[in-house]
Structure 1
Amino acid sequence: MSNKLFTDFEAVSSKQWKTQIQYELKGADYNETLVWESPEGIKVRPFYHIDEAAEPLTIPTEVSGFKIVQNIFVHDLEKSIARAKETLSRGAESLRFTLENEKVDIEKLLTSLPLETTPVYLNFHFLDLPFIEKINSIAKKHNATIYLHVDPIGQLAQDGNWHTNLDTDFNTLNDIALKCTNLNFLSINSSLYQNAGANIVQQLAYTLSHVNEYFNRMVTIGSPVTIQVAVGTNYFFEIAKLRALRLLFTTLAKEYDHKHECHIIAVPTKRNKTLYDYNVNMLRTTTECMSAILGGANSVSNLAYDAIYHKDNEFGDRISRNQLLVLKHESYFDLVNNPSDGAYYIESLTNQLAEKALTLFKDIEANGGFITQLIEGTIQRKIGESAKKEQELFDNGKEILLGTNKYPNKEDRMSHDLELYPFVKVNPRKTLITPIIEKRLAEKLEQERLETEK
């Protein structure tokens, strides 16, 4: 923030503020009373002042251009097309389709849409070069902006196995990079780490190391790298997280002479979402979307309040989309670029998160890199340790989810309303590595409550 405001008022120094605060504490210890430490080891002070502020960071975020994304799971093609058109008419600005397999008539799906004006994300968990070449032809013909969520390393981390194996997957990925130049073909599934319980420093470091594997192993990456980020409810920390991510990516990309900024698509975390008193989920997702926008996400895809236990439905979609529409068109979140610039607290958090993440990143690289540490189980163990600490805070009532472990409605009944299984699914099978498992904080408590309903 280069413009100085309120210059007519006499400046109050940081030392003067501290003196007054110490007086008001009436002898209580300043650090013990007012300074708290985050799970990332960051000591948060009660106020931040220009006297102690570092040089402002230059992290360009075009908040005015963020897109509202609608998720659509493609099962019935005709219904999916109709739903896509309907959501666009109701305020969605971009679409993200999840495909089960390569048998989907992708040409019919895409050419039924206004591709020239609507960015499209395609999310699928298979790697098929002819299928992707077909998408590339469509993108070229219609001058479309299409982002593929293709992430073999993310597949390994989440599923425990490669699509085929390391060499084959990367050979296919390099073919895509060389042959499909009309697509944004590479994506990083960073949301997995947050949803599994990693703290913010771990999320940033693992994402950066994840990206670094692709920079090291691929012949070329000629388009922006898409990073899918899950956003939690620690409001200012999450704003700083996205800014730190963009800063770290830019720093790494320069080392490989990569010319593009990353493209961030943000979605609220599932980790704090609850089955009981589910309407509170709307409050959680609202603040999470606010953090995503202010942090500089290029696109935001909201999570429906009932997403963990209901199949996709028109009402849930409409409410989640309207939350973003209110933020954009009634709360005017799209009117100012770089809104976090000059906020000393956010600047300080961004700096500290980036520095701590960079230290962890260097440690990962010094010990074999991200894939090696996945195969050895180091990443999974570290996330598990972080998740366990957070789970203990929740179980002890120190981390609160309203309506679940504080002020629960004992009359609430949910067993009759479950269309989806809302808990971790156990599927014993042979895997190359132990997969990273996403798990919500409230799962054990909810399962116990469901048992008492029967």
Structure 2
Amino acid sequence: MADNLFNEFEPVSSKQWKQQIQYELKGADYNETLVWESPEGIKVKPFYHGDEDIPKTENVRTTNGFSILQNIFVHDVKKSNERALDTLNRGAESIRFTIENESVSIEELMRNLPLGDTQYFFYLPFLSIDFVNRINDFASKNNANISLQIDPIGQLVRDGNWFENLDKDFDKLNTIASKTTIPFLNISSGIYQNAGANMVQQLAYTLAHVNEYFNRISNLNQPITIEIAVGTNYFFEIAKLRALRLLFNTLAKEYNHDLNCHIIATPTKRNKTLYDYNVNMLRTTTECMSAILGGADAIANLPYDALYHKDNEFGDRIARNQLLVLKHESYFDKVNNAADGAYYIESLTEQLAEKALLLFKDIEANGGLITQLIEGNIQKKISESATKEQELFDSGKEVLLGTNKYLNKNDKMKHDLELYPFVKQNPRKTLITPIIEKRLAEKLEQERLSQEA
């Protein structure tokens, strides 16, 4: 029936569309008027057509749905266990525990929690073979679906130092790889976006990050988790996640690693604001939508008040409910790979992947990610990209509503801050200059806070 319907219309070629558009422009230049260029150097056209925009790359294999991930910081084991049970009963589908020391009892933390189908992530900002073995033993004995998140390179990027040093950290990772059956490796790539890297840089640095582990871990037979931050450029962010999976699969084949990556997406902090903070809910909603359509396996939403409030039940509930609405009321879980066949998104995916692959090859030709971090080149490139974006925000060309446009001058925040929402200074000796996450609105917000009565 569809074929018969469309056969009633004559096909219109890309050339015919351009001719009609040029006629309607009444002499104005097509490229100057309608084509714009992204910070990544991608020229975005006013329309896309099957004549010239069908991708040359292979189809991107994405996921069969996404799970709603709840973050829980483990300070009190009993309370963390109770909170996990409560959030699972109220819509969360997987849990990520952040554990800061190895004295935590895994048995107590997991008491009465549903095992088997429910997935649990253990984010470990330390490196301990004994603790990993304890978690691995628990998972084996209880048939628990547990993935660890260990990332020494991410530690270096964020902190400026290894857990111990390069050799000892990778010796431990190789030991873990040979003795552990559960996934243990995590790529903390969200920091690149939150620090101001453009999308090509984010993809290339993430790929180089993965490649360091492929090169240095000899018995890597477990799936890899990649954490990524999602920004507000809706269609570009969909394409970014698709390009990431495409690039990972391409790289993994070179190492005969046939296990797909598990992508965890979280809304970026870079565009979030203190003032008119309810707008953060709108930003995170579109960012979660991009993550879903881009093929993220799990999404951990960012509470609207995460910048200035400690973890609280209301903020977590709202963040979780945003995902529940998208999943169960907007039916985002009913269609797999919804972006397939959209010429615009397919074209963006291909261009982002190609540009990121070129940058990745350049990084590898110059020693790889770790060498480039030690030499300061990665930090320099991110700083340059972040400065350009900051200048656009400061000039008003990049808009954050309620902050640099349509702001409410009566909005007061000084007495509502439970957390320090700006870059924290911690001078110390480090191996490399750490990559620092920074929000666009920080300077403006500090000025407004200083002027509050």
| Number of the residue aligned with 1:71 | 71
- What is the correspondence of 1:102-117 to structure 2 with a 5 Å cutoff? 102-117=102-117
- What is the correspondence of 1:180-191 to structure 2 with a 5 Å cutoff? 180-181=180-181, 183-191=182-190
Structure 1 counterpart of 2:102, one-letter code: E
**Within the alignment, does 1:91 sit opposite 2:91 as a pair?**
yes
- What is the correspondence of 1:78-157 to structure 2 with a 5 Å cutoff? 78-157=78-157
Q: Is the 8 A contact 1:107 1:135 kept in 2?
A: no
Q: Is the 8 A contact 2:95 2:119 kept in 1?
A: yes
Q: Distance in 1 between matches of 2:338 and 2:198?
A: 25
Q: Is the 8 A contact 1:152 1:162 kept in 2?
A: yes
SS at match of 1:51: coil
The TM-score with structure 2 as length reference comes to 0.98
- What is the correspondence of 1:428-443 to structure 2 with a 5 Å cutoff? 428-443=427-442
Instruction: Classify 1:113/1:243 alpha carbon distance in 2 versus 1 (closer, same or farther; 3 Å).
Output: same
Structure 2 counterpart of 1:175, one-letter code: T
**Within the alignment, does 1:296 sit opposite 2:295 as a pair?**
yes
Q: Is the 8 A contact 1:68 1:300 kept in 2?
A: yes
Shift of 1:201: 0.2
Structure 2 counterpart of 1:169, one-letter code: D
SS at match of 2:299: strand
| Number of the residue aligned with 2:267 | 268
SS at match of 1:174: helix
SS at match of 2:6: coil
Q: Is the 8 A contact 1:304 1:320 kept in 2?
A: yes
Q: Is the 8 A contact 2:151 2:187 kept in 1?
A: yes
Q: Is the 8 A contact 2:183 2:224 kept in 1?
A: yes
For residues 377-428 of structure 1, the C-alpha deviation after alignment (integer angstroms, 9 at most, x for no partner) is 1100100000000000000000000000000100000010001100000011
Shift of 1:9: 2.6
Structure 1, unmatched stretches of 5+, are none
SS at match of 2:51: helix
Shift of 1:81: 1.1
SS at match of 1:422: coil
Shift of 1:216: 0.4
Shift of 1:105: 1.6
Consecutive aligned runs of 4 or more in structure 1 exceeding 4 Å deviation: none
Q: RMSD between aligned alpha carbons?
A: 1.4
| Number of the residue aligned with 1:341 | 340
Q: Distance in 2 between matches of 1:419 and 1:139?
A: 37
Shift of 1:336: 1.1
SS at match of 1:120: strand
Q: Distance in 1 between matches of 2:290 and 2:128?
A: 35
SS at match of 1:193: helix
Instruction: Classify 1:112/1:4 alpha carbon distance in 2 versus 1 (closer, same or farther; 3 Å).
Output: farther
Structure 2 counterpart of 1:261, one-letter code: N
**Within the alignment, does 1:49 sit opposite 2:49 as a pair?**
yes
Shift of 1:112: 3.2
Structure 2 counterpart of 1:19, one-letter code: Q
Shift of 1:4: 10
Q: Distance in 1 between matches of 2:328 and 2:47?
A: 32
| Number of the residue aligned with 1:219 | 218
| Number of the residue aligned with 1:416 | 415
Q: Distance in 1 between matches of 2:107 and 2:387?
A: 45
Q: Distance in 1 between matches of 2:398 and 2:404?
A: 9
Q: Is the 8 A contact 1:148 1:184 kept in 2?
A: yes
Aligned length: 451
For residues 182-238 of structure 1, the C-alpha deviation after alignment (integer angstroms, 9 at most, x for no partner) is x11000001010000000000000000010000001111111110000000000000
Q: Distance in 1 between matches of 2:5 and 2:357?
A: 34
Instruction: Classify 1:168/1:36 alpha carbon distance in 2 versus 1 (closer, same or farther; 3 Å).
Output: same
Q: Distance in 2 between matches of 1:275 and 1:202?
A: 27
**Within the alignment, does 1:385 sit opposite 2:387 as a pair?**
no
Shift of 1:110: 2.0
For residues 35-88 of structure 1, the C-alpha deviation after alignment (integer angstroms, 9 at most, x for no partner) is 0000000000000001112346411112x4210001111112211111111110
SS at match of 2:123: strand
Instruction: Classify 1:386/1:284 alpha carbon distance in 2 versus 1 (closer, same or farther; 3 Å).
Output: same
| Number of the residue aligned with 2:191 | 192
Q: Distance in 2 between matches of 1:178 and 1:60?
A: 29
| Number of the residue aligned with 1:29 | 29
- What is the correspondence of 1:317-328 to structure 2 with a 5 Å cutoff? 317-328=316-327
Q: Distance in 1 between matches of 2:4 and 2:148?
A: 44
Identity of aligned residues (%): 74
Instruction: Classify 1:207/1:380 alpha carbon distance in 2 versus 1 (closer, same or farther; 3 Å).
Output: same
